Amino acid sequence: MAYEQFKKLDAVKHDRTIKSLIGISRAHFDTLARAFAVAYDTVQLKRLQQGEIKQVPSGGSKGYLDTFDKKLFFLLYYLKNYPVFDVLGLHFGLSGGHAHTHVIALLPVLQRALLDLGMLPAGRLEPLRNSRNALSNLATLPSTGWNAPASGRRMTDSKKPASAEKKRHTLKAITVSTLHRQILFLFCFFAGSSHDYALMKKVFNPKLKWFHQVNVWLDLGFQGAAREYGSKSKINLPHKRPKKSKNNPKPKLTAAQIKHNKEHARIRVAVEHAIGGMKTFHCLTHRIRNHLTGIIEYLFWLPAGLWNLKIA
């Protein structure tokens, strides 16, 4: 089985192989496993209090996933490689149906473990008014919008999540990170056809003083932000090349503008690295096959929390 092979790998000698299997190193896995065991009991107790279960499971057959290490490895393997459930079950001695059942049960446990470790980005789990207070303690803040592949099915609001940029159905998220590549806030998910700046205004109300005490580095997809968020907002945008016209048939940026854009890109590239780190988990790069809204949200949040764990 995959887990037995994983346990035989030397943490130093086979570090690349381990990361290819589960997306994180053995040291990070051991840290997360301890939090995962505590989070499992917390989630079960919460389910009991909400009436989802009549008692916390204690006896009976444990099956193949009989330890917390196995459960965590099973879930990380799924997020990293994103196989269909039949293939996932084949690697762990389960049927496709049982593999699906275990994934659904363990997703909230991993989310709770990352939350307890302080690695889960804010957004859905905290009120946005608290997020505004947190922003005031930062010096710089890159932000961007990005797409994840989705199925061709319509969303719950009867709008197709088609993206003209990606030429396919996608789901979009707005992410905010520090210059150290840590993902602070993640707002998901929106139809892929939604414009980045429209989403930013939806999440960060321009009438509030969001960016008066923090430098924000945005890309050209957020044109107009400096005007709408007020003159006191510290919003940095690259220069856009002028439109071609009869009077200016070959529009070019000045040397000073090119230099500014290079410096701007050097600072803002941190957020691209953060997004790239999230996408090492293939659940965000392969077409999302899960159609339940609650499940899709986990496929955004958990890679972000795991990325924060990797760089912590």
pLDDT, one tens digit per residue, over 274-284 is: 888 999 999 88
88 vs 181: which has the higher pLDDT: 88
Cα–Cα distance, 65 to 94 (Å, whole number): 9
> What is the average pLDDT value for the chain, to the nearest integer?
81
Q: H or E element: which one contains 187?
A: strand 183-191
Rounded mean pLDDT, 207-218: 79
Q: What is the pLDDT of residue 141?
A: 53
Q: H or E element: which one contains 274?
A: helix 255-278
Whole-model pTM above 0.85?
A: no
Nearest to 92 by CA among 292, 103, 61, 29: 103
Cα–Cα distance, 151 to 166 (Å, whole number): 13
In contact, 181 and 152? CB cutoff 8 Å: no
Q: Report the half-sphere exposure of 78 (CA within 13 A, side-chain side).
A: 30
Q: What is the pLDDT of residue 48?
A: 81
Q: Which residue has the tokens 């410096």?
A: 263
Q: Report the half-sphere exposure of 252 (CA within 13 A, side-chain side).
A: 4
pLDDT confidence band for 151 (50 / 70 / 90): very low
